Chains A and B, each alone.
Chain A
Amino acid sequence: MTAQVGPRREFDVLVIGSGIAGLAAALAAAGEGRSVAVVSKEGELSECNTNYAQGGIVYRGEGGIELLERDIVSAGCAINFGEAVRVVCEEGPRAIEDILIRKSRVLFDPDGAGGLDLTQEAAHSTRRIIHVKDHTGAAIEKGLLGQAGHVDRIAFFTGHCAVDLITNSHHARLPEERYRPTRVIGAYVFDERREEVSIFFAPRVVLATGGVGNLFLHTSNTPGASGDGIAMANRSGAEIINAEYVQFHPTILYHRDVKRFLISEALRGEGARLMNRRGEYFLEKYNPAMKDLAPRDEVARAIFYEMEATDAGYVFLDARQVSRVDLKTRFPSIARQCREIGIDIAREPIPVVPAAHYFCGGIKVDLSGRTNIPGLYAVGESACTGVHGANRLASVSLLEGLVWGTRAGRDAALSGPAGDDAVRTDIPDWISPRPEEEIDPVLVYQDLHNIRSTMWNYAGIVRNRKRLARALSDFNYLSHRVEKFYRQARLTRTIIELRNAVLTASLIIRAAQANRDSLGCHFVEKG
């Protein structure tokens, strides 16, 4: 069977991704009267990184906007974009109140004294994070989906994987278009169930495809976090910046059968401490001032070195002395998950390992989420607004997704349709190779696995020149083969992802090579 040609659809705004950023964009655009399509490659709209966020979202705290700005910039090693930081700090609290609390009815935990419960995480100098127990992301995603579900102007498409953006200059048959300024007019989207590729036309396309965690062997991200949006944007000429800044979460549950389970750093915020296999609390050696609340990258590296020194595949997180809160009510998901593998977190230390967690770089956008390609927006983890600089402060990413999603959605709606109709008729349907080759799925799987181990070992927590060079030459070779799959094989979601993964991984490595100085979550050994 070959990939069939699906219908041509037309919307005012096309949003690719249904996490916090995509949904915020869709709601804002629909709120301005636009018709919106939201596509997600997953079978469930809620299957995305947003759904797995545990700790919470930055709200208001002592010290106000100024102190929050200072914390964000100090985590980001002062290469942040000041204007963007100001926007997220100023607009964040009201966006939470208006969109999440009022319209999406997210019930954040009360503190029992009349306010919202404020918690603290690594590198925050005060309590300012609100949460819904330890499943904040799921509560937010559910609320946003509930709200969006009542809006008739938003159409949802699940199991729809965007393949490529359509631009006038790349795709129109008319040769003249090649010379006109490039603008995005829609996307080719693969419908996995019907095995067909349809065209979604929209004068405004918002990429909200999330992160890149799944390019690494150990990750906290969902399997869908394969950098699709970054690769698509890059292919159509959008700028990708800060790609060397991949944040590693220090503490993922280490277990044979349980993957991607995050042990929230809020646990350390409440007093849990990292311990090596010899039973030593080691963070005081690395950062005597902040100890276990040091920035994530420092903690991740400390663990990495301790693992090397003790020749172990993991370290421990010790929550036994936590007394301010009841562990089982404050961290029910963690307690439950650990109990399932036979660990009582109140009595035993938890084995943990670091993992690729958050992409600070991404598609370069301005304060409205616009990329350098007219018609194309990017928001959330796939975008780089400049908020995070060289490293993300915990719990700022959901907020950034909410704020920029809303800004971009509104901008996309109000900047008016560009009247692309003439070009549309000139865009060809998706052309499938004939005859199509049947590719052994094991081959594709192995290539993905290669990328993930190469990235983990050569371009992960600790990098150096030789490793990066080796990784890039491996990927150069691999990308030829992958491109061949893509041109000759029957289209599948995995092949689309593999093609994007090679490209995004290469972009990360090139950025890492270009930046010889360790900064934030980019760490290079000298020599």
Chain B
Amino acid sequence: METITEIVRLKKEYGDKLCILAHYYQRDEVYQLADFSGDSYQLALEASRSGAGHIVFCGVTFMAESARILARPEQRVYLPDREAGCPLADMADDRELAPALEEIQRTCLRPIVPVVYINSTASLKAAVAKAGGIVCTSSNAALLVRSLLAEGNAVLFLPDRNLGLSVAGRIPLSKDEIAFFGRETDGPEVTSAARMIIWDGFCNVHVRFTAMDVMKAKNQYPSARVFVHPECREEVTSLADYVGSTSGIIRECEKAAAGEVLFIGTELNLVERLAAARKDAKIFPLRRSGCLNMNKITPEKVLAALRSMNGPSSPYEVFVPEEESALAVRALRGMIERVERAKE
């Protein structure tokens, strides 16, 4: 309680020089402290719009890096626990990209453009930009991949395999147009027919959901609808009633009719918050699956980060080297331009 009071006091003291951002997956005590909350893309945008000199980012490393990249140079971005990483983002390393592209190009006839999901390290985004590729989010991935394929390219999609598969399904691509690649993959070779090559990373929060979970839910409440995130396994997304990004899921829950039963396959903190917001409906987690890394951020650590802001060097401040940052911005801009062009 003292911690919260102190944070509130510091927030008042800093006024609009400080902005606390929290991801939807943050624990409630932290979420409550935020000036703005959203998914990783919205938070990055908010960071770039905010006038605050200090941005305390409650999320995981890659998100704070995106905020850092989009913020102005004089703004400072802090992550209250520097060990809050994202296992999914860490499943593709920038140094793996060039050799992967080289190997794939040996058999693939089309020029390959890497497309990297926003859930990735800044270094990987930079490497992707260097290789002529772009960033995507779960909501615009299909659109971007489609437009790149239409230009005659093949796409290397990384790092999330399930999101990649759901994109491929939406294009749609046939089985032999899809190939896999990555650390754990030594399956069939990339053939000359391949149009989408998918990296084999995964989010362990979302792959925990199984087809059995969906069947049990529907068995218990036959009229129930199941909403899941595209990082869930294919066996789950194929049975779900709605597959969409975190923001998409939130929107669907808001639209649901009173009394409806919903099962949600995404991070637990968010699901519990949704359930609390819609007492008139029945919202359940498809399975209780929380993100260990998101939960590393606590009010105590937020307070430590706030206190660190005046020191000569804060242990929480996030840095992205200039060259890397410039490249990553290029990959992010590439995404925005393509999305805008597609709208025309």
Q: What is the interface of chain A, defined by CB distance below 8 A to chain B?
A: 60, 93, 96-97, 101-103, 105, 107-117, 146-147, 149-151
Give chain B nearest CB distance to A412 CB in angstroms: 21
Of A60, A108, A114, A117, the contact of B305 (CB 8 Å cutoff): A114
Q: Which of B315, B317, B324 has the most CB of A within 10 A?
A: B315
From B41-49, B215-223, B306-314, give the one contacting chain A. B306-314
Q: Is the CB of A107 within 8 A of B315?
A: yes
Q: Is the CB of B313 within 8 A of A114?
A: no
A146: which B residues are within 8 A, CB to CB? 123
Q: Is the CB of A150 within 8 A of B324?
A: yes
Residue B323 at the chain A interface, CB threshold 8 Å: yes
Of B123, B126, B313, the contact of A101 (CB 8 Å cutoff): B313
Assembly CA distance A81 to B307 (angstroms): 38
Residue B117 at the chain A interface, CB threshold 8 Å: no
Of B123, B315, B321, the contact of A110 (CB 8 Å cutoff): B315
Residue B304 at the chain A interface, CB threshold 8 Å: yes
Known: A103-B321, A150-B323, A150-B324. A110 touches B312 (CB 8 A): no
Q: Is the CB of B319 within 8 A of A114?
A: no
Q: Which of B291-331 contact A (CB under 8 A)?
A: 300-301, 304-309, 311-317, 319, 321, 323-324
B288: which A residues are within 8 A, CB to CB? none
Number of contacts between A and B (CB, 8 Å)?
53
Give chain B nearest CB distance to A128 CB in angstroms: 13
Q: What is the interface of chain B, defined by CB distance below 8 A to chain A?
A: 82-83, 95, 123, 126, 300-301, 304-309, 311-317, 319, 321, 323-324
Q: Is the CB of A150 within 8 A of B312?
A: no
Assembly CA distance A194 to B314 (angstroms): 47
Q: Is the CB of A114 within 8 A of B324?
A: no
A107: which B residues are within 8 A, CB to CB? 82-83, 315
Q: Is the CB of B308 within 8 A of A114?
A: yes
B301: which A residues are within 8 A, CB to CB? 112
Give chain B nearest CB distance to A93 CB in angstroms: 7
Q: Is the CB of A110 within 8 A of B319?
A: no
Give chain A nearest CB distance to B78 CB in angstroms: 10
Give chain A nearest CB distance to B109 CB in angstroms: 29
Listed A/B pairs (18) with beta-carbon separation below 8 Å: A93-B312, A96-B313, A97-B313, A102-B319, A105-B319, A110-B304, A110-B315, A110-B316, A114-B304, A114-B306, A114-B308, A115-B308, A116-B313, A116-B315, A147-B321, A150-B123, A150-B321, A150-B323
Give chain A nearest CB distance to B129 CB in angstroms: 12
Q: Which of A97, A111, A113, A115 has the most CB of B within 10 A?
A: A115
B309: which A residues are within 8 A, CB to CB? 114
A115: which B residues are within 8 A, CB to CB? 308, 311, 315
Q: Is the CB of B315 within 8 A of A109?
A: yes
Nearest residue (CB) in B for A104 is: B321
Q: Is the CB of B312 within 8 A of A60?
A: yes
Nearest residue (CB) in A for B318 is: A105
Assembly CA distance A151 to B301 (angstroms): 34
Give chain A nearest CB distance to B304 CB in angstroms: 5
Nearest residue (CB) in A for B95 is: A149
B317: which A residues are within 8 A, CB to CB? 101
Known: A113-B307, A114-B307. A97 touches B319 (CB 8 A): no
Assembly CA distance A116 to B311 (angstroms): 9
Q: Is the CB of B312 within 8 A of A97?
A: yes
Give chain B nearest CB distance to A451 CB in angstroms: 39
Q: Is the CB of B304 within 8 A of A112?
A: yes
B316: which A residues are within 8 A, CB to CB? 110
Assembly CA distance A147 to B317 (angstroms): 17
Assembly CA distance A116 to B312 (angstroms): 10
Give chain A nearest CB distance to B96 CB in angstroms: 13
Nearest residue (CB) in A for B311 is: A115
Assembly CA distance A396 to B52 (angstroms): 38
A113: which B residues are within 8 A, CB to CB? 304, 307
A110: which B residues are within 8 A, CB to CB? 82, 304, 308, 315-316
Give chain A nearest CB distance to B208 CB in angstroms: 28
Assembly CA distance A151 to B95 (angstroms): 13
B82: which A residues are within 8 A, CB to CB? 107, 110
Nearest residue (CB) in B for A115 is: B311
Assembly CA distance A459 to B61 (angstroms): 51
A150: which B residues are within 8 A, CB to CB? 123, 126, 321, 323-324
B308: which A residues are within 8 A, CB to CB? 110, 114-115
Q: Is the CB of A108 within 8 A of B324?
A: no
Apart from A147-B321, A150-B324, what 15 extra A-B contacts exist at CB < 8 Å?
Answer: A93-B312, A97-B313, A101-B317, A102-B321, A109-B315, A110-B308, A110-B316, A114-B304, A114-B308, A114-B309, A114-B314, A115-B308, A115-B315, A117-B315, A146-B123
B307: which A residues are within 8 A, CB to CB? 113-114
B123: which A residues are within 8 A, CB to CB? 146, 150
Assembly CA distance A146 to B319 (angstroms): 13
Give chain A nearest CB distance to B196 CB in angstroms: 28
Nearest residue (CB) in A for B65 is: A105
Assembly CA distance A110 to B81 (angstroms): 9
A114: which B residues are within 8 A, CB to CB? 304-309, 311, 314
Nearest residue (CB) in B for A103 is: B321
B324: which A residues are within 8 A, CB to CB? 150
Q: Which of B83, B313, B314 has the most CB of A within 10 A?
A: B313
Assembly CA distance A117 to B307 (angstroms): 14
Give chain A nearest CB distance to B330 CB in angstroms: 15
A149: which B residues are within 8 A, CB to CB? 95
Assembly CA distance A150 to B83 (angstroms): 23
Assembly CA distance A93 to B312 (angstroms): 9
Give chain A nearest CB distance to B302 CB in angstroms: 11
Give chain A nearest CB distance to B52 CB in angstroms: 18
Nearest residue (CB) in B for A101 is: B313
Nearest residue (CB) in B for A114 is: B307
Nearest residue (CB) in B for A151 is: B323
Assembly CA distance A109 to B82 (angstroms): 9
Assembly CA distance A97 to B314 (angstroms): 10
Assembly CA distance A108 to B315 (angstroms): 6
B305: which A residues are within 8 A, CB to CB? 114
Assembly CA distance A111 to B324 (angstroms): 29
Assembly CA distance A127 to B193 (angstroms): 63
B313: which A residues are within 8 A, CB to CB? 96-97, 101, 116
A109: which B residues are within 8 A, CB to CB? 315
Of B306, B312, B319, the contact of A103 (CB 8 Å cutoff): B319
Nearest residue (CB) in A for B79 is: A107
Nearest residue (CB) in A for B324 is: A150
Assembly CA distance A109 to B95 (angstroms): 26
Q: Which of A108, A109, A112 has the most CB of B within 10 A?
A: A112
Assembly CA distance A114 to B309 (angstroms): 8
B83: which A residues are within 8 A, CB to CB? 107
B314: which A residues are within 8 A, CB to CB? 114
Give chain A nearest CB distance to B320 CB in angstroms: 8
Nearest residue (CB) in B for A94 is: B312
Assembly CA distance A389 to B119 (angstroms): 51
Give chain B nearest CB distance to A136 CB in angstroms: 14
Give chain B nearest CB distance to A396 CB in angstroms: 19
Assembly CA distance A114 to B313 (angstroms): 10
A102: which B residues are within 8 A, CB to CB? 319, 321
Q: Which of A101, A112, A150 has the most CB of B within 10 A?
A: A150
Assembly CA distance A117 to B311 (angstroms): 13
Assembly CA distance A97 to B95 (angstroms): 26
A96: which B residues are within 8 A, CB to CB? 313
Nearest residue (CB) in A for B310 is: A114
B315: which A residues are within 8 A, CB to CB? 107-111, 115-117
B323: which A residues are within 8 A, CB to CB? 150-151
Assembly CA distance A149 to B306 (angstroms): 33
A151: which B residues are within 8 A, CB to CB? 323
